[in-house]
Structure 1
C-alpha cells in the first residue's frame, strides 16, 4: 500500500496539480508508488498527457520500466491516447518501444487499433516508427499488424506513415522537402538526429529554414537541438526571426531554445524579425523571455532595426508599438548616440515618431 504522501501524490497527479506534486515529492513522496489499481504519478502523467507533470516525475526518478495493470508501459498508455508530446519524452527517456502488454499489443498497435487517425495519432505513429517500432509485428491474439490495422480502418494518414520507406541518407532531403513520413523512416533506418549537410545544417535547421513544421515537430519531440549552428551561424531558432514563421516558433519553444543565441551579425531572433516587418512573429516572441534591448554588432536593437532598415509603413509601425509596449527602451541610442526617435524623424516616419514620443522617448 502507498504511504499517505504517496496517496496524496497520486491524487494530485490525477488533477494535474503540478505545484502540489512538487511539494509532495520534496516532502518524500515516491513518483513510482502505485495504488491498488497499479497507478503511479508517473503512469498517470503518461496516460493523461500531462507533460509538465511527466517531466517532474522523470526528473525525480520515474522508473521507465514500470508497468500498469495490463502489463503495459507508460509509452503504451500515451500512444493509445495519441499524446504525441508525451510519447516523444518517453522515447527520449528510454522506454522500450516494442514492449508487448498482456493484450498482445505494442505501443504502435495501440496507437492504430485504439486510435482515431487524427493528426496527433499520426504524429504518435511517426515518433514510434522513428524510434524503431516494428510495423509488421503481429498482434498476439489475431496476428494483425499495425500496417494491416491502419489499412483496414481507413486511417489514410497513418497508413502513409507506416508505408513510408527511406534510407538513412534521406533524412536531410526529407527535412528540406517537408516529408515527415520519410524523415521518420530515415531515422528508423539509422539516420542520426543531428546529421549535417555540407554547410553543417542539421535536419531541424533545414526544416526551420523551409518552414516544414511537421518534420520539425517530429525532430523536436525526439530531442533535436534547436541551437546547433551551421557555417553561417544560423540555428533552427535563429532563422525563425528571418522567416517570421510563428508556427515554427511555437514548434521550437518546447525544445527550450537559447533566446540569447547570436547570429553572424551578433543579433538575436527578434532583431531580423523587426527589420523584416514580421508583425505576428514579433507579437508572439515578445511574450517569451527574449531580451528586447539586446544590441547587435552594428549597435542596433530590434527597435532601431525596425526604424533604420524598415519602411516606416503599417507593419513597422505595428512592430514599434509592440516592442515599446513590451518593454523595449525607446531612448536606447545606437553606437553613434542617435536615438530611435531621431532616426524616425530624420526618415520622415511621422507615425513611428508619434509612437515613440508617446512612449516617452527623447
Structure 2
C-alpha cells in the first residue's frame, strides 16, 4: 500500500494533494489490486475520492475481484461517490465478478436512490448476469419484499425493464414474486404485463 492509499483511507485531502504534487502514481495498486480511489470508495471517504477523481483517477480501474470505484459505489449505494464516477467517465457497460452491471447489486441491496441514479445514467435495464438474473429479478429473488425493494421494482418497471424476462430456469419475475408472497410486487408486475 502506498502513501497515497493511506491518505485516501484517512480522507486526508491535504496529503493527497501533496503526494500528487510530488509525483505519486495516481493509479498505483495495493496488494489487492486496488487504486487509492478504490480504497477511498471502500471507506466512503467522499472528500478523498473527490480529490482523486478531480486529479484524474480512473473511475473504472478494477481490482483483483473486478470491482472498480464506479461498480463498488453503485453496489453499495455510495451516492456522492457514485455521482462523481458517473460525471467522470464511468463505463456503464462494465460488469462485476458476477457479470452484472452496477444496477443489479444496487437493486438487490435495496439502494433506491442509487438505482434511480443508474437508471437515469442509462445503465441497461435488462442486462443478464452470470446467474441468469436481471436487476428486476434480483430485486425480487434476493430481497425481503419490503418497501425499498417494492419501490425499486416500481422504478425499474416504470423505466422499461421487461417484466416477462425470465431467469435461466425460465421462471418469470411474477412467478418469483408470487412464490415469495410479495403481493405489492405481484400487483406491479401484473400491471406492467408480467
Q: Which residue of 2 aligns with 1:308?
A: 141
**Alignment partner of 1:178 out of 8, 11, 22:** 11
1:283 aligns with 2:106: no
> Distance between the aligned counterparts of 2:10 and 2:190, measured in 1?
46
1:176 and 1:206 in contact (8 A); partners too: yes
Q: Which has the larger radius of gyration?
A: 1
Which residue pairs with 1:334 in the alignment?
Answer: 167
Distance in 1 between residues matched to 2:101 and 2:185, nearest whole Å: 23
Shift in Å, 1:252:
1.1
Q: Distance in 1 between matches of 2:48 and 2:67?
A: 18
Task: Report what 1:57 is aligned to.
Answer: none
RMSD of aligned Cα (Å): 1.2
Q: Which residue is 1:42 aligned to?
A: none
Q: Are residues 1:345 and 2:190 paired?
A: no
In structure 2, what is the Cα distance between the partners aligned to 1:169 and 1:279?
Answer: 35
**Aligned positions of 1:187-198 closer than 5 A:** 187-198=20-31
Q: CA deviation at 1:200?
A: 0.7
The alignment's TM-score, normalised by the length of structure 2, stands at: 0.96
| Native 8 Å contact 1:265 1:298 kept in 2 | yes
Structure 1 residue runs of 4 or more that deviate by more than 4 Å after TM superposition: none
Q: Is the 8 A contact 1:241 1:271 kept in 2?
A: no
What is the deviation of 1:311?
0.6
Deviation at 1:254, TM superposition (A): 2.0
Q: 1:235 aligns with which of 68, 85, 88?
A: 68
Counterpart of 1:144?
none
Counterpart selection for 1:293 from 99, 108, 126: 126
- For residues 177 and 310 of structure 1, the distance between their equivalents in structure 2, rounded to whole angstroms, comes to 33
Match of 2:98?
Answer: 265
Distance in 1 (alpha carbons) for counterparts of 2:143 and 2:177: 10
**C-alpha deviations, 1:93-146, integer Å up to 9, x for none?**
xxxxxxxxxxxxxxxxxxxxxxxxxxxxxxxxxxxxxxxxxxxxxxxxxxxxxx
The CA distance in 2 between the partners of 1:310 and 1:240, in whole Å, is 19
**Is 1:247 aligned to 2:85, yes or no?**
no
Whole-angstrom CA distance in 2 between matches of 1:345 and 1:244: 27
Structure 2 CA distance for aligned equivalents of residues 218 and 265 of structure 1: 30
Contact 2:86 2:121 in 1 (8 A): no
Q: Which residue of 2 aligns with 1:224?
A: 57
Query: RCO (CA 8 Å, sep 6+): is it higher in 1 or 2?
Result: 2
1:244-273 Cα offsets, whole Å, 9 max, x none, are 011111111121111111111111101001
SS in 2 for 1:201: coil
Q: Is the 8 A contact 1:272 1:302 kept in 2?
A: yes
User: Unpaired runs of 5+ in structure 2?
Assistant: none
What 5-or-longer segments of structure 1 have no aligned partner?
Answer: 1-167
Shift of residue 210, structure 1, vs aligned partner? 1.5
